[in-house]
Amino acid sequence: MCLLVMGFLALSSYAVEEKVHRSQLKRAVAGDFPKDSPSYFIREDLRAYNTYVKTIPNWGGSWFTVPYKPTDNITVQIVRQSEPYNYKYSDTPVLVLCTLNNMKCYYDNATKGRSLSFVISAKELNATKDDLFHFILYGVNKDNNTAHSVVVGLYICTGKYSLSTCTATCYKTCTHGSKSQVMNTCICYKGYTGERCQKKAKKAPTWDHDNEDNDLGYQFVIDLCGLIVGISVFITIIVFIRACVRCRKMKLAQQANNNGRNPVAPLPPPSGGYAYYPLGTAPPPPPPSTATVIEMPSIVDTPKPVQVTPPVAPANQVPVFITPPGYVKN
């Protein structure tokens, strides 16, 4: 049981550590990032030829990875599926794309058709040790200084594809929207969201972190929460390890006591004048007898004549004597 609990805690600790690690994008090329980029990202691993619908958080961004080969073209279809909050037209979020392997960023309000879909050759990318293509998405408002949430549809192809050939058919019924022409998802009308555009968008949140002070305070709270979680997990693991060690010592001590004792099974009670003794054990001596012993005197075996007296017959009967036949004399 102790080993099971320790294994569970180890996996939980690894999951928490991995989540914290993935949520903080190390800014090795921080100078190339736009100033409006958030400090925290959630990483997700994607596979080619699958349609994904992802909500970009309004407190950070999303970090996506795609495996590829050195001879591939990486084609990424990106569509704005909906806005989970009912923003005003003037506050409609701007979606930002940054490809990390070659460190380039694009804004969808600066492109024709508000699309960020792209094709890039693996030969143009800087090779990575993990053989993954990395790109991030995040939303900002019209002034590019406040994080906003956006729902995007993603469809990726790796190989000899172009934007015209890397497509999938949409089979969904879109209640308040239209079918996408490049992937299996709906494009919702403004004010609606959900997989089939059947839900009304929520009221836009009132909080933001428009200035640097709010950004620093928000980041401090996130860092503090991560630190508290890490310390709690560490203390829990230490407590369980000590408890398991103590249980193990007590179990070994109990086994040693049982082995040194070597108890003998109790004998069953005797019944019916019989006694049972374990094999290889001499029986105890019989108990002294309490009966009175009478010593008989020795009698000398001396022949004596025996006189036979006939029975006395009743008065009305006459005794009859039967004489045996005489012996024939030689």
Instruction: Write a three-state SS string for the chain.
Output: CHHHHHHHHHHHHHHHHHHHHHHCCCCCCHHHCCCCCCCCEEEEECCCCCEEEEEECCCCEEEEEEECCCCCEEEEEEEEEECCEECCHHHCCEEEEEECCCCEEEEHHHCHHHCCCEEEEHHHCCCCCCCEEEEEEEEECCCCCCECCEEEEEEEEEECCCCCCCCCCCCCCCCCEEECCCCCCEEECCCEECCCCCEECEECCCCCCCCHHHHHHHHHHHHHHHHHHHHHHHHHHHHHHHHHHHHHHHHHHHHHHHHHHCCCCCCCCCECCECCCCCCCCCCCCCCCCCCCCCCCCCCCCCCCCCCCCCCCCCCCCCCCCCCCCCCCC
Instruction: Supply the pLDDT for residue 264.
Output: 57
Instruction: Supply the pLDDT for residue 265.
Output: 59
In a domain, 165, yes or no: yes
Q: Clarify whether residues 60 and 103 are in a common domain.
A: yes
Q: Are strands 199-200 and 202-203 parallel, antiparallel or unpaired?
A: unpaired
Last residue of a domain, one of 190, 224, 247: 247
Q: Give the integer Cα–Cα distance in Å for 104 and 96.
A: 11
Q: Clarify whether residues 132 and 231 are in a common domain.
A: no
In a domain, 103, yes or no: yes
Instruction: Supply the pLDDT for residue 49.
Output: 94
Q: Clarify whether residues 164 and 68 are in a common domain.
A: yes
Domain ranges, residue 121: 46-207
Q: Clarify whether residues 102 and 176 are in a common domain.
A: yes
| Ramachandran quadrant class, 17 (left: phi over 0; alpha: psi -120 to 50; beta: rest) | alpha
Instruction: List 198's β-bridge partners, or say none.
Output: none
Q: Clarify whether residues 55 and 195 are in a common domain.
A: yes
Q: Clarify whether residues 243 and 203 are in a common domain.
A: no
Q: Clarify whether residues 131 and 226 are in a common domain.
A: no
Q: Which residue numbers in the chain have pLDDT < 50?
A: 1, 3-5, 8-24, 26-30, 208-217, 330
Q: For residues 71 and 161, is the Cβ–Cβ distance under 8 A?
A: no
Instruction: Supply the pLDDT for residue 152.
Output: 95
Q: Clarify whether residues 218 and 199 are in a common domain.
A: no
Question: Looking at this protein, which amino acid is placed at residue 133?
Answer: F
Instruction: Supply the pLDDT for residue 207.
Output: 55
Total domains, the chain: 2
Instruction: Supply the pLDDT for residue 256.
Output: 73
Q: Clarify whether residues 229 and 87 are in a common domain.
A: no
In a domain, 274, yes or no: no
Instruction: Supply the pLDDT for residue 10.
Output: 47
In a domain, 271, yes or no: no
Q: Clarify whether residues 183 and 105 are in a common domain.
A: yes
Q: Clarify whether residues 95 and 230 are in a common domain.
A: no
Angle at the Cα of 74 (from 70 to 77), degrees rounded to 5?
A: 170
Mean pLDDT score across all residues of the chain: 74
Q: Clarify whether residues 12 and 85 are in a common domain.
A: no
In a domain, 278, yes or no: no
> What tokens does 56 get?
């970009």
In a domain, 262, yes or no: no
